[in-house]
Structure 1
Amino acid sequence: MMQEDGAANRKAITRFIERMPSLSTTVGKVMEICSRTDASPNELNRVISLDPVLTGQVLKLINSAYYSLVNKVTSLTRAITMLGMNTVKNMALSTAIIRSVSGAKKSQSLPTKKFWAHSIATGVCAKLLAKANGVPVMECEEYFVAGLLHDLGKIPFGDEYIDVLNRVKKECLPLITVERDMLGVDHQEVGRMIAEKWKLNEAMTCSIAFHHDVEEAPEEHRVRAAYVGLANMYANILDLGYAGDPFPAEDGADKMLKITGLTWDMFGEVALGVEEEIEKAQVFLQS
């Protein structure tokens, strides 16, 4: 019976994902350009400039407290020069995905505002953990976006998810354990399906698909998945937002710390800057 239910759930979720809007052509081109080693800032500038809405969103983000720049940036070319192609790509990707899923029908069991509050918190924690461990500042943005998008796979679940969340609360179990038991599919697998539909890069896809099962991630992407897994745990423990997992499986923390090279002290100290960074990152939801 469980196998039949699992197959039916997968079928319904697959249909939902097929109906989800694709990312805009502009964002697709932005991702394609930034994946090439020979790409130039001018190419990126030309593509984004053709989309006035995206241009406005990128400039709004750049001039927000999140980046804390001294002087206002009014030119997209200047923005790309100052922050780099990869950071601008991440801005475009984040805002496009949030726009795409914000109107998607979701179960009322996960309130939208609390869901995104958890997602923002996880992105911020991933970024701060990476920064604390010496990851270059420009690269830390990749960790923020991976954390921001880690729970995309929860969006297609319907009203049956209420029963999952009720059991999690009643029995104090990790969410992913109950998803697998009751639905025959978990949000990591569903998230991977969405990431593949949107042609996200492999590193981002692996962070979404393995943040609870870090050791199963391909070796070259395991470290980032571990940062996201730790950040997700952090957000849940500190009760930042709500994504249905108040009792994460904390026994994996030691393994993830070992994979990232973080110590428990470094892990704990991140809490000092979390609230301020989360406040700054709210601009991603307003774009």
Structure 2
Amino acid sequence: MLNFRFSRLILFVLILFSCRQNPQKTQSVPGTETNEQLIERTRTTFKNVINIPYTEVYRRFASGISFNAQGFQLKPSWKITFLSDTSVSVFSPIKLRYYNLPLVLDHDSMFSMAGAWFKARKISKDSLRFQVLSVRNKIINWKNSNVYVTFYAEDYLKKQHVNVEKLRSTTKSDTAYIQKLADASALDSTKIFAAQQPVSLKSNSANVQVTNAKTKAKDLNSYYIPETLFYPEYNVTINKAYADFYHSFAVRVDAKGRLHFVEPMETMVDDPENTIKVIKGIMDGYLAHYLQITPGKTLGIPHDSLILLVVRGNKN
């Protein structure tokens, strides 16, 4: 049985502190080189690309796929312009404006901007390529630093007559990967992944009201995974029910739109088995009959996904 309550899927932990490498990765420098000298000797610089507007065109895992096994999709959307080695201008697709933010350079070509740590892999007037670093307690987790982002200069895109949206779109490899995940999740419930197009519940009765889940946008697009992507919550109110009740529980919605009970999300002090029996009765007696259920989809492929249901019954 999947444990919704204690599962927390966090892909990246990005913090605004100076970072250092894992001791196993650090090579000692002969002599008495200070930390400041180390940073000065090995840090990168953006002096050669200052005031050049760049647009993010790729954001992918090291595998070249833009999805991971949990269904999280990397979506390129940043626009940046380096103003100096201490300041960067970042465009917010939500606010539709640029923000001037601090830029912190560290050793070994690592730097911080907009709440994320990166390692510069390529810096040229035409393009930039960075590795996204997973940092926790000032230690880099190299195993989880498996996301790479690529930016093209806007002048380069114009000269090459390149369509940015086409570059940013998903690939045949992405589709094949999602189909593989969908096939696996149908056979093994532990391999269920989040749907990019979440489950849709629509009422067929005037006595049943449904509020579908919504994913809140961030002010600045980051590399955090919104929890609502993995745990979309739906509220269902049933009027003229057989009794007054209130239950919260996890459900698996399969690729055909059928509901499968997973576990209760409420504290059951007395007679847990009977409570679960009641919840399953509500699912079979009300939800299956009065809801039109569209399964979650990713890249147009329907697949099993998990949701949270909060169901309230009103007798009168």
Per the TM superposition, whether the score is higher than 0.5 is: no
- With the shorter chain as reference, the TM-score category is under 0.3
* Larger gyration radius, structure 1 or structure 2: 2
Structure with greater proportional helix content: 1
Q: Which has the higher contact order (CA 8 A, sep 6+)?
A: 1
- With normalisation by structure 1, the TM-score equals 0.24
